[in-house]
Amino acid sequence: MPFVNIKIAGNSPTKEQKERVIKGVTDVLVTELGKNPATTFVVIEEVPTDNWGIGGESVTERRKKTG
C-alpha cells in the first residue's frame, strides 16, 4: 500500500498528463515491488515557481537568467 507524493514546479500538466503519470508510477510499483494497485495512492502537488528554490534562488529567477 504505497503512498507516492510528486511535487512539481511550473506549468500545470494537463489532466491527460496527470492520468499518465498516475498510471505510469503505479505500474512501476506493481511491476517492480509487487504492490497492489488498489491500495496505491499517487498525489501530485503543483508548486508555483516563486515557491520552489534551487541553487539558492527561485525557479522564477533562474528561468529569467537561462531564458
Contacts to a copy of itself by CB under 8 A:
1-9, 13, 15, 17-33, 35, 37-47, 50-61
What is the Cα gyration radius of the chain? Answer: 15
The residue (of 3 and 67) whose beta carbon lies closer to a copy of itself is 3
Helix (H, G, I), strand (E, B) or coil at 10: coil
CB of 39 to a copy of itself, least distance (A): 7
CA–CA distances in Å: residue 13 to residues 2, 24, 27, 52, 60: 23, 15, 20, 17, 17
CB of 65 to a copy of itself, least distance (A): 13
Catalytic residue check, 48: no
Residues designated catalytic: 2
